[in-house]
Structures are given as structure tokens and as C-alpha cells.
Amino acid sequence: MTKDCTAINLEKEAAEKEAGEKETQTGTWDRYWFSNGSVAKVSTIRGLLAMITLIYFLSVWPDAAFWYSAGGPLSTTNVSEFLTNGGLESAGNWIVSPLFLTEDIIVYRMYLIIGMATSLVVFWGRGGRWMSFLLWCLFVGWANRAMLVSGLAETLLSLGLFAAAISPASSVWTALFTKRNSRVGHLATHWTAGFSERLLATQITVIGLATWVAMLGGSVWFNGLGAYALAAPVQDRTLDWTGPTSPLVQVAFHEGITHLLMIALPAGLVLAWLPKSSQIGKWILVAWCVVIAMLGSHWLYAMTFAVLIFSIRPGPLELDARMKQTRV
């Protein structure tokens, strides 16, 4: 009898322990994604992404007529013929943009003007979440229209704009220079800001790791020529690092930069997620972005990557009890 009672108690304790572990796991998952986050921090990231989007729209303005007008390389007619001849009609159905409906360059100019104006509105924190989502839609519409010349920069910026739009909106200037004021005091923290921040951090970590894995697949990152390969061809680069007086032509220099780039990316990501070394890791990644931008002229990609790095929050947010928490 006593043995039976003991066995029953042990089974009960084991079941309770297992249930407690499951609850702890679920709680940890919920805390990661849905804990309150700083509205000011996400607003700063969103504002900086809006400025990068503004720069993007400005950069495509001069060549819009060449690429998209009737007879241009990316005119609607030429893109349709390319997809048809390549048997890619089904893939093209997923590339949606209102700009495919016209080849009138005036419409393209107006689209860019609206995109630039929306970027400024989002930067100043006006229009709430809907204005942020509108900016995302405008950007995706243009990137889809430019599908054959779009790259990783467009993908990264699109993901960042969408994730940042989830959080409540406030002015980037207010977030940067005003700690507390009546306008944003009630929005100091919110669960949607925390979710937005976590989504941004997860995205940039996954993309960073994917970038590193892609680098591992290239022989130039092992034979020391990776940094030199980034700088060529010079006609596509803002800065020429291949001249006879450039330090990059020195074998020891470009091999050293190559290996540092290979080490800095994974090391920076790991350190950024550790509480005691988070800031060190983030600045290592920023330095990595600067080198990538300087050598390869990947300015938009590097700026977007550097901004998203600061969304990484290694531990639970310490909430100030004096901050008001309200639903938006």
C-alpha cells in the first residue's frame, strides 16, 4: 500500500514538473516576441529606414526615363516578352506593381514624388502605422517594377519597413532628443513595439547568417581575394580602390581585410546577442557595413543593414514602473 502511494506521488510530481517545464518554455517564447518594447527605439529605426527609402527614390529618379519609358530596357513590353520567351509567366504573376499598367514616364515621376513625400511624413512620425504601411507598399511597388535590377538591398529594406510599421509611430527627432514629453509619454512602451523590434532583430540575424554562409561558398573569401573582388569592376564602384597607389593592391592588406570581413560578421552577430557584449558586437557589425560600402559601393544595403543591427535586444526589456502602458 505504501509503495503504491509512493509510486503515485512520484508520477504526480513528474507530471507536474513536465507541465511546469512546458509552461516555462511557452512563457519564454511569449516573452521574446510579445514583451513590451520601446516605442522610441523602433521609431528611430523606422525614421532612419524612411530616410534610406527617400535616398533610394532619389537615386532612381535620374534614370527612370531610360529604364521604364516605351522602348526602354525595362519597359512593360520588353519585360512581358522576356518572361514569355523564358517561360516565366507563372513567376511573373507574383510580381505585382501598379506601374506595370503604364509606360508613361510622367506617372513614374509622380509615383517617385509621392514616395519621397511619404518617406518624409514617416520620418516625422505623422500618419501613424497606416502611413508606414503605405510607404512599404510604395517601395515594394517600385522594387517589383524594377525586378530585373533589384537586389538584396531592396529585399532588406522592404522587410525592415514592414516590420517597423507594426509599432506605434512617433517622430524620429522626438525619439532621439526628447526622453519624456506629453506627446509620447503614454507610448513609452507597448507590446507591438516589442514585437516589431524582435521581428527586425530576427530578420537581420537570419540575413546576416545567410550572407556569411554565402561567403563561405565563395573561394575568394578563402584565398584572400574577397576584398579585392568587392572593389572590382571599378566602373561600377563609387571609389576606385584598384589604383597602383591604393593599399588594397598590397597582398597583405587585401588578404587581411578579406579574413577580417569573414570573421567580423559571425563574431559581431554572436556578440550582439550577448548582454554583456551587445554594444561591442553591434559596432563590429557597423564597421563591417562601412567596409562593405566603401569597397563594393553597396551603400543602400550597408546603411539598411547597419540601422537594423540596433534592433537586436539580447535580454528582456527592463520596464520603468513609472512609464504608462496603454493599448493603441
The predicted structure's pLDDT at residue 71: 82
The predicted structure's pLDDT at residue 158: 96
In 3D space, the residue among 47, 262, 16 whose CA is nearest the CA of residue 160 turns out to be 47
One-character DSSP codes across 283-324: HHHHHHHHHHHHHH--HHHHHHHHHHHTT---S-----TTS-
Buried b / exposed e over 146-168, threshold 16 CB at 10 Å, is bbeeeebbbebbbbbbbbbbbbb
- CB neighbours (10 Å) of residue 302? 22
The predicted structure's pLDDT at residue 8: 53
Q: DSSP alpha helices (H): ranges in 35-151? A: 39-60, 64-68, 76-85, 89-92, 105-123, 128-145
Task: Give the CA dihedral 23, 25, 30, 35, nearest 10 degrees.
Answer: 100
Beta bridge partners of 190: 37
In 3D space, the residue among 314, 307, 324, 322 whose CA is nearest the CA of residue 45 turns out to be 307
In 3D space, the residue among 224, 152, 175 whose CA is nearest the CA of residue 37 turns out to be 175
Q: What is the pLDDT of residues 122-175, one digit of tens each?
A: 999 888 899 999 999 999 999 999 887 788 899 999 999 999 999 988 777 666
- Residues in the chain with pLDDT values less than 70: 1-26, 89-92, 173-187, 234-235, 315-328
Q: What is the pLDDT of residues 1-28, one digit of tens each?
A: 454 555 555 565 655 555 555 544 557 7
pTM: 0.83
